[in-house]
Amino acid sequence: MNPPLKETIRCPGCGGSQDVTVWGRIDVADNPDLKSNLLDGGLGRDKCRACGHLIEIRHDLLYHDSEKHLAIWLRHLDDESVLGVVDLPTIVDESLSDDYVRRIVHSYQELVEKVRIVDAGLDDFEVELIKLIICIREQIDIASPFLFGSLRKSLMGGPSIVFAQPGQSSAGDKIYPLQGLRTTMVGVVDKLKQFSQDDDPWPNVNREFVLKRLCDAGLMKRME
């Protein structure tokens, strides 16, 4: 298990400074409590001991789940004000076999979303395609935050998929029957993966990524 680092952050509320613990790598098998802290947001913020303001902690890290063969690299695009900037070659070793799902994300929210998708037993290609279909049909900007929240049992008995739009209340969650969306996508996810085989081994699989693959594969009309 990689030891954490101590870093100093400044509160934007009162200007005071305090030390925080920053993890460059989370190995779920070694420390499952860190996964819980990640999912509840605890690793991405700290409370100012002077004024109580919640301070965002921006740091790069590798999330590694050996049981689920999942590796997610959180790499912020802007290195300024990022604690513990991590270069990929220094955090990835030969323990990641070829059957690992490797992803790169650029925000804490995206990292949490990827973990929740896998925990729900879903494929992120499928989830991002569902999000894209919904955005096209409901004229939602595909660049705006639109995150997987959970699966729920619907009144009809089948699963429904729940999405959240950060900044809105839970009452604004969008809920859709999963089976109906899957009917629209029959065969599409597998074809998308075929078109992505030669891409970066650490792809950022989001709506823009899926949209490009749909266009490349000539499948866009099926989604309209």
* pLDDT per residue rounded down to tens, the chain (224 residues): 567 888 899 999 999 999 998 888 899 999 999 999 999 998 989 999 999 999 998 888 899 999 999 999 998 887 665 665 556 645 565 668 888 999 999 999 999 999 999 999 999 999 999 999 999 999 989 989 999 999 998 777 789 999 998 876 555 788 999 988 888 887 787 777 776 655 678 899 999 999 988 888 777 766 66
Domain that holds residue 71: 5-107
Domain ends where: 107, 133, 160? 107
What is residue 158's predicted lDDT score, i.e. its pLDDT? Answer: 86
Same domain, 102 and 150: no
| 16, part of any domain | yes
Is the pTM here over 0.85, yes or no? yes
Residue 25 included in any domain: yes
Q: Residue 156: inside a domain, yes or no?
A: yes
Cβ atoms 164, 147 nearer than 8 A: yes
- Do 94 and 145 fall within a single domain? no
* Domain count across the chain: 2
Backbone angles phi, psi at 5, to 5 degrees: -110, 155
Contact predicate 209/195, CB 8 Å: no
Side chain identity at residue 183, one-letter code: T
**In a shared domain, residues 199 and 151:** yes
Instruction: Tell whether 86 and 150 lie within a shared domain.
Output: no
Give long-range contacts, CB 8 A cutoff, 24+ apart: 41-49.
41/108, 41/112, 43/108, 44/108, 46/9, 46/18, 46/20, 48/11, 48/13, 48/14, 48/16, 48/18, 49/16, 49/18
Contact present, 129 and 185 (Cβ < 8 Å):
yes
Do 130 and 85 have their domain in common?
Answer: no
Spell out a b/e string for 33-71, using b for 16 or more CB atoms within 10 Å of the CB, else e: ebbeebeeeebbebebeeeeeebebbbbbbbbbeeeebb
Give me the pLDDT at residue 180, please.
Answer: 86
Structural domain contains residue 212:
yes
> Does one domain contain both 12 and 50?
yes
102 and 69 together in one domain? yes
Note whether residue 215 is domain-resident: yes
Work out the burial of residue 188: count CB atoms within 10 Å of its CB; fewer than 13 is exposed, 13-18 middle, 19 or more buried.
buried
